[in-house]
Structure 1
């Protein structure tokens, strides 16, 4: 069984839980390291873009982050996946549910009119809800965080994930799955920093 509890599936090498990849890696630790190292490099090359932010934009980010590793980068998954008791969106509902969320985001003007406290709450709730959709077979977290960096920067704030611990992050995502956003709000309150126009300029 792989980490999503899917077992054998078309994304994996036959008889293994290892995702098929363009580097031909056949063990999890090496693949995880390659994924981490490659996405660090590719993330640095991705330029900020203003709205609209929608599912196609998320797919574009996923493709840019993972196209050197996975042949299906940027494509919506074709199988249902779950982590433990957390069951992510059925494949038939991914595009409709993502569409609802991004339509609401557009209607709320991408949160650009909110004071910081309301921004933190809105971003945290939107993150938790979008995470339930989990549109890709792998790489959802990295891709979604990149989207939210752009979203928060567009509103006019800096954002950093550096102080967030893995277990804390997992707990917040699980709680948000059950519509308890308090832990996620606390995380984004720390991640979202100063207004960009108040940061000291380079000499």
Structure 2
């Protein structure tokens, strides 16, 4: 395991957090509670998503009560099973690509499911945060859809 990942963990493998919770299950429950409340709050604000910079702001908003690294790009590489994740040295290229796609989409009158799927794919591949990439992506896309007079409903299965 990479040093930068080890630096974010207690000896038992639980993420180091501002609340000092050392049990992974207790932390997961608290994390869900806090991020769900903050997600609902943010959705009700009607924020404007103009570019990729909002992605880090969303991650910071969701996770800053819990983690010092919230909203900050990861400082190394890691792998999730067989999933390929973008090398952290290439984040600037990913940002350019995502901003380009968003600028093209903003010229469209109506975004399609494929447009949102394209952004989701780019954000998933970038995977810039230590934790919370999925929740941040989901919220980013929900806010982006609201900006276009649309809604994304994620199934609970």
Same fold flag (TM > 0.5): yes
The structure number with the bigger radius of gyration is 1
1:158 matched residue in structure 2 = 151
Distance (Å, rounded) in 1 between the aligned partners of 2:73 and 2:102 = 20
Distance (Å, rounded) in 1 between the aligned partners of 2:120 and 2:32 = 21
Counterpart of 1:98 (choices 81, 89, 95) is 95
CA deviations over 1:28-70 (Å, ceiling 9, x no partner):
111111110000111122222224122x211111111111000
Distance (Å, rounded) in 1 between the aligned partners of 2:69 and 2:119 = 26
**Higher-strand-fraction structure:** 1
Counterpart of 1:68 (choices 50, 60, 65) is 65
2:41 matched residue in structure 1 = 45
Is contact 2:21-2:27 (8 Å) kept?
yes
Instruction: List alignment gaps of at least 5 residues for structure 2.
Output: none
Instruction: Flag the 1:143–1:37 CA change in 2: closer, same or farther, 3 A.
Output: same
Instruction: List alignment gaps of at least 5 residues for structure 1.
Output: 166-203
SS at structure 1 position matched to 2:6 = coil
Q: Larger RCO: Structure 1 or Structure 2 (Cα < 8 Å, ≥ 6 residues apart)?
A: 2
Q: Report the TM-score, using the length of structure 1 for normalisation.
A: 0.69
Distance (Å, rounded) in 2 between the aligned partners of 1:53 and 1:73 = 19
Q: CA RMSD of the aligned region, Å?
A: 1.9
